[in-house]
């Protein structure tokens, strides 16, 4: 269904018991709500959560921002590396306000929040700026944005910035190669699983310009370290030791800087949501919720 939140239209789905504890899932860079696998959402619902997943602005079936133009990604990357200001069409703080507005539209006063990758960055803004709205917080494979932390390898950077093919089959194959590049070496998915999920997502919506604006928003966001001490919600950090996109020191940094946070550092996990780890993720989200 579509709802108006923070003045824009967002595509939203709800799963699980209507009277369950609300759990808002915030997906990462250029990813649609189907980036949260259906079976994983079912496990969360079976644990008693009222699961809410949505398309971030400018992606999937939510409102687009093509009228704001396409950022010059090379220039944005250079400015970011030089610690100079980066201009973006909108900010991660704006996207956090979208999430707050979504809760308002659904009549939810407080929710458990789980953000993955860029979604975890958005969740940090939400929890720090609106602590009364976040009952517990789970941050998966994400970062404070501190310039002191290691970044992705050049191979991963190149893969992220590579120009994809235009035809459907080529786009699926290209995307699958990148997913495997950053994925979990100890938890390979079943044969064809990645391609099937990508085929579904691309057929649902393909908005490369939105992805570029997401990248620009991440590059433009300042170091969120000053925000972290303001987070009051019980926090669980989940991070893989083999993450090549957001290396594990980023997760350790979050756990150290957020008051009372706990970390589950998973050997052999990369930058993905492999089926073999879903029960462990559900347990981690449940642990944070139990401390609320």
Strand pairing report for 2-5 and 262-266:
unpaired
Q: Specify the pLDDT at position 218.
A: 93
Residues with pLDDT less than 70, the chain: 72-85
Q: In CATH, which of 3.30.470.20, 3.40.50.300, 1.10.1040.10, 3.40.50.1820 is domain 2-290?
A: 3.40.50.1820
Question: What would the pLDDT profile of 195-210 be if each residue is shown by its tens digit?
Answer: 999 999 999 999 999 9
Q: Specify the pLDDT at position 86.
A: 72
**How confident is the prediction for the chain on average, in pLDDT?**
94
Q: What is the CA angle 261-254-136, rounded to 5?
A: 40
Assigned token pair, 253: 């940094």
């Amino acid at each position: 269904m579509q709802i108006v939140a923070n003045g824009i239209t967002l595509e939203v789905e709800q799963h699980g018991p209507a009277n369950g504890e609300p759990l808002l899932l915030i997906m990462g860079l250029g990813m649609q709500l189907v980036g949260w696998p259906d079976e994983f959402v079912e496990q969360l619902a079976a644990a008693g959560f009222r699961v809410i997943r949505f398309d971030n602005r400018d992606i999937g079936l939510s409102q687009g921002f093509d009228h704001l133009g396409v950022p010059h990604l090379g220039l944005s990357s250079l400015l970011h590396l030089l610690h100079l200001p980066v201009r973006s069409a909108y900010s991660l703080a704006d996207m956090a306000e979208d999430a707050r507005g979504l809760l308002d539209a659904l009549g939810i006063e407080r929710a458990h929040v789980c953000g993955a990758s860029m979604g975890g960055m958005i969740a940090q803004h939400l929890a720090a700026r609106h602590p009364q709205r976040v009952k517990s917080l789970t941050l998966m494979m994400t970062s404070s944005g501190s310039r002191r932390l290691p970044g992705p390898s050049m191979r991963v950077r190149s893969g992220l910035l590579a120009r994809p093919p235009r035809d459907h089959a080529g786009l699926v194959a290209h995307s699958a190669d990148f997913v495997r590049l950053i994925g979990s070496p100890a938890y390979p998915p079943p044969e064809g699983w990645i391609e099937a999920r990508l085929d579904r997502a691309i057929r649902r919506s393909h908005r490369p310009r939105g992805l570029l604006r997401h990248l620009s928003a991440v590059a433009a966001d300042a170091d969120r370290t000053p925000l972290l001490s303001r987070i009051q919600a019980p926090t669980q950090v989940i991070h893989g030791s083999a993450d090549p996109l957001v290396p594990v020191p980023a997760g350790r940094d979050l756990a150290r800087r957020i008051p009372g946070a706990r970390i589950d550092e998973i050997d052999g996990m990369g930058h993905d949501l492999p089926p073999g780890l879903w029960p462990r993720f559900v347990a981690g989200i449940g642990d944070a919720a139990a401390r609320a």
